[in-house]
Structure 1
Amino acid sequence: MGKPVQIQRRLFLTLCILFLTNPAAYAGAVDDASAEKPQILRQGSVTKGYEVLPVGEQTIAAAYLSQTLGIPRGAVLLLHDINEHIDSAAVGLLRRQLPSHGWNTLAIKIIRFSEDNDQSQLTAETEATVDPVEAVQTAEVSDDNPSGDAEAPVDSLTAESSAEIYKMVTTAERIDAALLKLQQEGHENIVLIGQGAGGRLALKALNETAVPVTALVMINTGALSEGIGIIDVTIPTLEIMGSRQKDEVKQAILQRRTQMKTEQRTNYHLRQITGADHYFSSAPKQLTNQVHGWLVKQLLDEEASQ
């Protein structure tokens, strides 16, 4: 009877040891998986076409995609809304989808949506535009560190803050540098597209840049800032409005349409996309088709008639 008891005790001890060691091994596996998860998310979310765009002696974050149709139709500069980034909402959808229709797309990071020189406002706008999604998606901790890799410690006395860098590069300079890049590539058709506050910037840029712009598209853009008007725009202009957009935004767009009709401006067009909100997540193809179809009709009549 002694041996069976000893065997049972040994089995019991063995089972206890296995039970105690397995959770530790399991915990280690969980820790390893957790450590890998952020890397996987980061690698799978890097902005397609990310590059830095020179602006004078500085660089800014941008994303550029070449047309994949084989028939070049022109280039599009896209300006995102306030508190968003180059892959947000309609700007993100259009910059990724228009290349298959023959359009090169360039989206740039906007930090300042006004030219107020107040430093406190600049700092607030800089912080407001850096959200958790953008931090992972574009790894834009610094324009000088596009890879998103950890940077070596630097002397605080020699390090330039991002606010100081952005103060040197105005919003107008950013937009003009982007338009100049597209012009130097030799595109006959250069289109400005802006969403929300980006639409106001696009409209303002028409009066400030020396680069010829052939068409303007404003998406869900609310009331215009003082001193910015649409009446004097002579190039083909399209406004797109989502039916689920905020009422004040829709009201501002409809007022502009009435204004342009009163002035008998035939270059202005308005299109509503049913069921679309600010992000157009429920109607991505409709958005792209509306923009591309309108651009072809306005700028490439001979192709539209085929």
Structure 2
Amino acid sequence: MRPTAITLPVIGLSLILSLPALAEDAEPAAPDNKASEQAVAPREPLTARSQVEATALERQIDPKQVQHLQAGDEQFLALWLEANSAQPRGAVILIPGDNESADWPQTVGPLRRKLPDNGWHTLSLTLPDPLSTVPIVTPTPEKPASDAAETATEDEKTAGQPAEAAVETPPEPSTEADTPVEVVSTPDAEELRKQHEQRIFARIGASLEYVRQHKPRTITLLGQGTGAYWAARYISERPAKDIQRIVAISAQAPEFASSQLEALLTENKTATLDVFYRSTTASNKQLHQRLMASKRQAESGYEQIALNPLPGNLHDEQEQLYRRVRGWLEK
């Protein structure tokens, strides 16, 4: 059926009335400010590995042994056992190596549990993550809101121009005066090393403060792996009359160490036991150098004990270590 003269004006009028509604639908939705804020929100720092392991360890240990000590602005887990004696011989503070816990199954755990039966208080502590595993996070500077709005406006203007016009439009010249420079300050390697050392010294200091509350006759710092380095380093820089012995077991210097392990173990005046397992030629060479260095000292309390490794027999290997350490402490 062909449209009549009346039908055509009616159709045209209806199209004109519908244009405002179509224009409203075509308008872009307002940006979700909350979503954009969440997108640029900084990520929370990851929990340190040592802290995660300490939390898991705390669930497995008798609550009576658990101590939360304060070192500066942070707390750390320490495990305390009193001597099973009416007259304790003294206290032994055990310092684990890199990536080891306060109840590590080799050296630290067995010794902290066995020595109380021989009259020694024991306190084993948790060290921070090794410096080599701590990432340096460089924050990404955020663009100010005003700059972002101007950029969006310019993009809209450019989008409405022909392609050739957009390409031919030269950028406005800028100078250093009107271009803000974002300076991001991050600690360098030397500063990180100093901060790491301060954290470890603070934890050893807090451990000594706790142990001294029990008035021990004498205190021994016992370190395993890199923990031996920190024990010797601490007594070298902060000597104390009540710290009379150092036990270094499988001693090694940590990455980024600022002091020589040989000098720390052989040049101090504190009685030092250097326990090692017969293994590689390289370690034997270092041990020989430490022994020769100690002989060059007029007054040296340095002593070495060599143990045979017992692969596949961890129990007997730890028992052997305990007997040698116990015997030396009783001298």
Map 1:54-69 → 2, pairs under 5 A? 54-69=70-85
Superposed displacement of residue 226, structure 1? 4.1
The one of 263, 269, 273 equivalent to 1:238 is 273
Query: What residue number does 1:216 align with?
Result: 246
Quickly say closer, same or farther: Cα 1:45–1:119, change in 2 above 3 A: closer
CA root-mean-square deviation: 3.2
Q: Encode CA deviations 1:87-141: one digit per residue, 9 max, x unaligned.
A: 1111111111100000000011011445x9x96269xxxxxxxxxxxxxxxxxxx
Task: Tell me if the contact between 1:106 and 1:178 (Cα under 8 Å) persists in the aligned partners.
Answer: yes
Unaligned runs of 5+ in 1: 1-41, 123-165, 298-306
Cα distance change of structure 1 residues 241 and 277 upon mapping to structure 2, 3 Å threshold: farther
User: Structure 1: how far apart are the matches of 2:59 and 2:239?
Assistant: 36
**What is the rounded CA distance, in whole Å, between the counterparts of 1:234 and 1:278 in structure 2?**
38
SS of equivalent residue, structure 2 residue 237: coil
Please state how far the C-alpha of 1:227 moved relative to its aligned partner. Answer: 2.3
The 3-state SS of whatever aligns with 1:106 is strand
Question: Percent identity over the alignment?
Answer: 25
Letter in 2 for 1:204: R
1:47 has 2:61 as partner: yes
The structure with more radius of gyration: 2
What is aligned with 2:212? 183
* 1:227 is aligned to 2:259: yes
Any gaps of 5 or more consecutive residues in structure 2? 1-55, 138-194
Matched pairs, number:
210
- For normalisation by structure 2, the TM-score amounts to 0.56
Map of 1:92 onto structure 2: 109
- Give yes or no for contact 2:99–2:129 (8 Å, CA) kept in 1: no
1:193-272 equivalences in 2 (<5 Å):
193-209=222-238, 211-212=240-241, 213-222=243-252, 225-228=257-260, 229=263, 230-243=265-278, 245-263=279-297, 265-272=299-306
Counterpart-to-counterpart distance in 1, 2:93 and 2:130: 16
CA separation in 1, counterparts of 2:248 and 2:313?
14
Q: How do 1:55-134 residues align onto structure 2 when only pairs under 5 Å count? A: 55-88=71-104, 89-113=106-130, 120=135
Aligned match of 1:154: none
Q: How far apart, in 2, do the equivalents of 1:289 and 1:46 lie?
A: 27
Q: Deviations over 1:227-285 (max 9, x none)?
A: 24233310111011122x45433432232112112335441111112234799543222
CA contact (8 A) 1:95 1:107 kept: yes
CA-CA distance at 1:184 after TM superposition = 2.7
The CA distance in 1 between the partners of 2:288 and 2:228, in whole Å, is 15
Q: Deviations for 1:26-57, whole angstroms, at most 9, x for unmatched residues? A: xxxxxxxxxxxxxxxx8998135232112245
d(CA) in 1 for partners of 2:90, 2:311:
28
The structure 2 residue matched to 1:172, chosen from 182, 201, 206, is: 201
| One-letter amino acid matched to 1:120 | P
- How far apart, in 1, do the equivalents of 2:312 and 2:199 lie? 27
Q: Secondary structure at the match of 2:101?
A: coil
* CA deviation profile, 1:269-302 (whole Å, cap 9, x unmatched): 11112234799543222211111111110xxxxx
Distance in 2 between the 1:184 and 1:282 partners? 34
Question: Are residues 1:283 and 2:283 paired?
Answer: no
Q: Residues 281 and 242 of structure 1: is their aligned pair in 2 closer, same or farther, counting only changes over 3 Å?
A: farther
SS in 2 for 1:201: helix
